[in-house]
Amino acid sequence: MSGGARHPWINRTFHEFVSVRRATMPPAHRPGAGTPVDSPPGEALLAPRGSAIAGAARERDRWRRAEARSTGNGVVRVRREVWIAAAAFAAAAGAGAWLARGGETGQEMTAFREARAFAVSAQIGQIAGPYSLLLGDSQLERLYLPRLCGAPAVDAGIAGTRAAGLRGVVARIRLPRPPAAIVVTVGTNDLTRRHRAAERDAAEGFRRDVRGLMADLAPLTRTLVATPVPPFDAARAGIASQYDAGEEAAYSAIVAEECARAGCRFLDIYAGRRSPEALALSPDGVHLGLDPAARDDIAGRLEGALCADRAVGTR
């Protein structure tokens, strides 16, 4: 496999970090300031793969020449470590640029989903009794919720995924027995302007994907819960250029409608995260601001609705 495809989960996380980080920087401080607003996220920082690798090769040669002039082992070791870091960054940059252009398709994303599903399946296989499954994007992946209603909760969140991509993860997870509950949060990445611009009717495409996801999940558990799209801090610098945050409510309504169609329960576990004070805790205006109080608020709303007839005790 090529260097870019060798560790796709690293590439994807790197690309998501750069995209969000660039979007939330003040315009004057962004890499490549002055590039068009509708250019791909991180485009100024993420060079095409060939350019990244060529740059890494030049950097390698420069360090080798410096190494040849150096007689101190400590200096050589430090320079070698810097070259390794530069090469890793270049490989990630090249793959990140490919993903920015290709979206959730291709060998890299397939391998990423397989790796994530493989890890989640292994965790589920270590649980002897009841368990719950948390599915979604990085909003749920970042949430620390090891137990739900007194039983283990397995976090199968996958950073950067959209509703369609989550179906690919679900199809690969091995369930030895049905989860007591499945909780789904999705929609943040479906609201990127890049994705919506590429879809002829993005809202209807999202509806089809959510409908398919709910149809996939409903037979797997007695308790299927879907949540609204978590809130954006739309006033934060860079958010409006990267996300169609104004469609958050419309996309949440789609999730609610398709949840009802599948017989699942729609629950706003993020209701306490919509105040200006809560939005101010967000690290980037996109992801939830999570501290112990925020975590307890989300967990409490979820358990208050689900645990009445089950053993209570979470956290």
Which residues are registered as beta bridge partners of 181? 132
Q: Is 135 helix (H, G, I), strand (E, B) or coil?
A: strand
Closest CA to 220 of 178, 181, 171: 178
Token pair 């699942």: residue: 264
Buried/exposed code over 239-267 (b: 16+ C-beta within 10 A; e: otherwise)? bbebbbbebbeebbbbbbebbeebebebb
Domain parsing of the chain, residue ranges: 3-102, 107-306
Q: What are phi and psi of 155, to 5 degrees?
A: -90, 110
Q: What is the pLDDT at residue 110? A: 80
The Cβ of residue 186 has, within 10 Å, a number of other Cβ atoms equal to: 29
The pLDDT value given to residue 165:
92
With residue 106 as reference, give the H or E element that holds it. Answer: helix 106-125
For helices 248-262 and 202-217, give the axis angle rounded to 10 degrees: 30
**Count, residues in the chain:** 315
- 107-306 CATH: 3.40.50.1110
Tokens at 122, concatenated: 């292994």
First to last CA, the chain: 42
pTM: 0.67
At 56, give phi and psi (nearest 5°). Answer: -65, -40
* pLDDT tens digits in sequence order for the chain, 315 residues long: 444 444 444 444 445 444 544 554 444 444 444 333 333 333 222 333 344 444 444 544 554 555 455 444 444 443 444 443 333 333 333 333 333 334 445 677 788 888 999 999 999 999 999 999 999 999 999 999 999 999 999 999 999 999 999 999 999 999 999 999 999 999 999 999 999 988 889 999 999 999 999 999 999 999 999 999 999 999 999 999 999 999 999 999 999 999 999 999 999 999 999 999 999 999 999 999 999 999 999 999 999 999 875 543 444
